[in-house]
C-alpha cells in the first residue's frame, strides 16, 4: 500500500523538483535587479529608461520561446505628451500663483472662464484624493476642478502627469478652498504625439487555443523626482518591477513545462501609474468572453500582513477564482487571503480593472501592506528592501495555484458587472 501511494506522489514530486529548478532565487534577483536599476531611471513613459526596460522584457520572452503578437513583442499605441509652458489666471478677480494650477490636456492653448461651459468639480479637505482624482481625470467633458489647499502638494505631479489618450478631455486643476463665482485661466503647452508599448508574449494552448489565461504586471514607474538624501530616482523595485519579474519567470516556467491546454498570454503593461492606459489598450484587443482568468501581479516583493508564504487577492468575492487557487495549494505552506484593505478600492486601482469591468475574473495578487507600506511611491523603493527569497516562493505558489485553470480543469465564475462600482 505504501508503495502504491508513493507511485501516486511521484508526479507531484517531479513537478516540485522542476519548479525549484526553473523558478529560482538567483533568477528572481537577476531580473528584479535590472528592472529596478538606476540605468532605467525609474521607467517613466516616454523616456529612454522605459524603452530599455521594454526591450529587456521582450528579450526574456524571446529566450523563453514565446510567440509574438503579429511581428513583435511590443504592442504599441499612440498617446499624447504635453509640457506646460505658461499659465495665468484669476479667481473672483484675484490673481493666482501659476504654481497653483495644473493642466491635463492635449490642446496647445487653453483659455477658459465661467462662461466656457466647463463642468465644475471640487475636492474638499479630508476627501479621499486617490479615489476622487481618477474620477475627475477621466471625466468625459472638459472640467475645472477646485482642490482644497491641503492637496497643493499633488499639483506638481498632476502637472507632469504623463501620457494622454486621444479622447482625453481638458481638465484644469486649481488650488482653491472654495468654488469661485468667476474665474479665468489661460495656459500654453507643447504637445507631442508619441508611441507607448506594452510587451506581450503568447504560449499557445494545446487543446483550447481560443481560451486565454493572462499573467500581467506593469513595468512603468515614476521616473526622476526631487532628490531625497541625494537620491532622485524612483526605481520602483516593488512597484512593479516585482510583478513584472514574476510575469517573466512564469513565462519561462510554463514554456518549459509545456502542459498548458489553454493559451497563456504574458503582458507587461506600460503607463499604469499614469492612468492604466496600457491595460486599457490591451483589453480592447480580445473578446472578453474568451478570457478565462487574469492574474495581475502587483507589489509582491515584501511580506504581507500575515507574514511570509502568503498574499491577498483583490476582489476575492467577485468570482470563484480565489477559491480555485486555494484548492490547488491545499496542503502547502502558502495561503491566499481576501484583500484586507477594502476601503482602498484596490480591485479598481490596478490593471485588472479594465478586464474585470467586462466580466472577466481578473484579480490582482499582492502582498503590499497598503496601510503602512514605508517605501510606496518613494525613492526608497529599492531592491535591498525586498525579501527575494519570499518573493521567489510567491511566484512558485502562483504557478502551482493556476494549474487547474491553465489545464482547463477549472474555470472561474465571471465577475457580475452590475455589482461593480
For helices 25-35 and 388-401, give the axis angle rounded to 10 degrees: 110
In 105-258, which ranges are continuous DSSP H helix? 129-137, 155-159, 242-257
Q: Quote the CA–CA distance of 161 and 136 in Å, as a whole number.
A: 13
Q: What is the DSSP string of 291-339?
A: EEEEEEE---SS-BTTBSSEEEETTGGGSSHHHHHHHHTTTSS-EEEE-
* Residue 23 · residue 396 · CB < 8 Å: yes
What tens-digit pLDDT sequence spans the chain (421 residues)? 445 444 444 444 556 668 999 999 999 999 999 999 999 999 999 999 999 999 999 999 999 999 999 899 999 999 999 989 999 999 999 999 999 999 999 999 999 999 999 999 999 999 988 778 878 988 999 999 999 999 999 998 887 667 888 888 999 999 999 999 999 999 999 999 999 999 999 999 999 999 999 999 999 999 999 899 999 999 999 999 999 999 999 999 999 999 999 999 999 999 999 889 999 999 999 899 999 999 999 999 999 999 999 999 999 999 999 999 999 999 999 999 999 999 999 999 999 999 999 999 999 999 999 999 999 999 999 999 999 999 999 999 999 999 999 999 999 999 999 999 8
Q: Quote the CA–CA distance of 354 and 339 in Å, as a whole number.
A: 19
Q: Quote the CA–CA distance of 294 and 354 in Å, as a whole number.
A: 11
Backbone angles phi, psi at 128, to 5 degrees: -75, 110
Per-residue confidence (pLDDT) for residue 414, from 0 to 100: 98
- Residues linked to residue 223 through DSSP beta bridges, in sequence order: 234
Per-residue confidence (pLDDT) for residue 14, from 0 to 100: 55
Report the chain's C-alpha Rg in angstroms: 23
Backbone angles phi, psi at 237, to 5 degrees: -60, -45
Backbone angles phi, psi at 42, to 5 degrees: 85, 0
CB proximity list for 279: less than 8 A, separation 6 or greater: 198, 216, 218, 267, 269, 272, 351, 352, 353, 354, 355
* Residue 146 · residue 121 · CB < 8 Å: yes
From the CB of residue 250, how many other CB atoms can be counted at a distance below 10 Å?
Answer: 25
Q: Quote the CA–CA distance of 146 and 178 in Å, as a whole number.
A: 7
pTM for the structure as a whole: 0.87
Backbone angles phi, psi at 373, to 5 degrees: -70, 110
Q: Quote the CA–CA distance of 106 and 128 in Å, as a whole number.
A: 27
Per-residue confidence (pLDDT) for residue 157, from 0 to 100: 81
Amino acid at each position: 500500500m505504501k508503495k502504491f501511494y508513493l507511485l501516486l506522489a511521484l508526479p507531484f514530486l517531479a513537478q516540485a523538483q522542476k519548479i525549484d529548478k526553473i523558478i529560482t532565487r538567483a533568477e528572481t534577483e537577476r531580473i528584479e535587479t535590472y528592472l529596478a536599476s538606476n540605468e532605467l531611471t525609474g521607467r517613466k513613459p516616454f523616456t529612454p529608461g522605459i524603452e530599455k526596460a521594454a526591450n529587456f522584457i521582450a528579450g526574456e520572452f524571446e529566450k523563453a520561446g514565446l510567440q509574438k503578437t503579429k511581428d513583435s513583442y511590443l504592442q504599441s499605441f499612440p498617446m499624447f505628451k504635453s509640457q506646460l509652458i505658461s499659465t495665468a489666471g484669476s479667481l473672483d478677480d484675484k490673481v493666482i500663483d501659476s504654481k497653483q494650477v495644473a493642466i491635463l490636456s492635449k490642446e496647445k492653448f487653453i483659455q477658459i472662464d465661467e462662461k466656457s461651459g466647463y463642468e465644475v468639480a471640487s475636492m474638499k479637505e479630508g476627501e479621499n484624493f486617490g479615489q476622487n482624482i481618477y474620477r475627475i481625470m477621466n471625466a468625459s467633458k472638459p472640467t475645472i476642478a477646485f482642490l482644497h489647499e491641503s492637496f497643493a502638494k499633488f499639483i506638481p505631479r498632476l502637472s507632469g502627469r504623463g501620457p494622454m489618450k486621444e479622447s482625453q478631455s481638458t481638465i484644469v486643476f486649481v488650488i482653491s478652498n472654495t468654488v469661485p463665482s468667476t474665474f479665468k485661466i489661460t495656459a500654453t503647452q507643447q504637445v507631442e504625439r508619441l508611441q507607448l508599448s506594452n510587451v506581450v508574449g503568447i504560449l499557445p494552448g494545446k487543446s483550447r487555443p481560443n481560451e486565454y489565461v493572462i499573467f500581467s504586471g506593469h513595468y512603468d514607474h515614476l521616473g526622476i523626482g526631487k532628490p531625497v538624501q541625494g537620491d532622485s530616482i524612483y526605481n520602483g523595485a516593488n512597484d512593479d518591477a516585482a510583478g513584472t519579474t514574476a510575469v517573466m519567470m512564469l513565462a519561462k516556467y510554463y514554456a518549459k513545462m509545456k502542459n498548458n491546454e489553454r493559451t497563456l498570454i504574458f503582458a507587461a503593461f506600460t503607463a499604469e501609474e499614469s492612468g492604466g492606459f496600457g491595460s486599457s489598450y490591451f483589453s480592447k484587443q480580445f473578446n472578453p468572453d474568451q478570457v478565462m482568468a487574469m492574474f495581475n501581479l502587483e507589489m509582491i516583493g515584501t511580506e504581507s500582513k500575515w507574514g511570509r508564504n502568503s498574499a491577498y487577492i483583490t476582489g476575492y468575492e467577485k468570482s470563484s477564482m480565489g477559491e480555485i487557487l486555494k484548492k490547488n495549494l491545499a496542503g502547502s505552506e502558502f495561503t491566499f487571503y481576501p484583500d484586507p484593505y477594502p476601503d482602498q478600492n484596490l480591485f479598481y486601482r490596478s490593471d485588472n480593472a479594465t478586464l474585470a469591468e467586462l466580466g472577466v475574473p481578473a484579480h490582482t495578487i499582492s502582498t503590499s501592506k497598503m496601510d503602512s507600506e514605508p517605501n510606496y511611491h518613494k525613492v526608497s523603493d529599492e531592491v535591498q528592501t525586498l525579501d527575494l527569497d519570499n518573493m521567489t516562493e510567491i511566484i512558485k505558489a502562483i504557478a502551482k495555484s493556476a494549474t487547474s485553470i491553465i489545464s482547463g480543469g477549472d474555470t472561474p465564475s465571471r465577475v457580475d458587472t452590475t455589482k461593480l462600482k
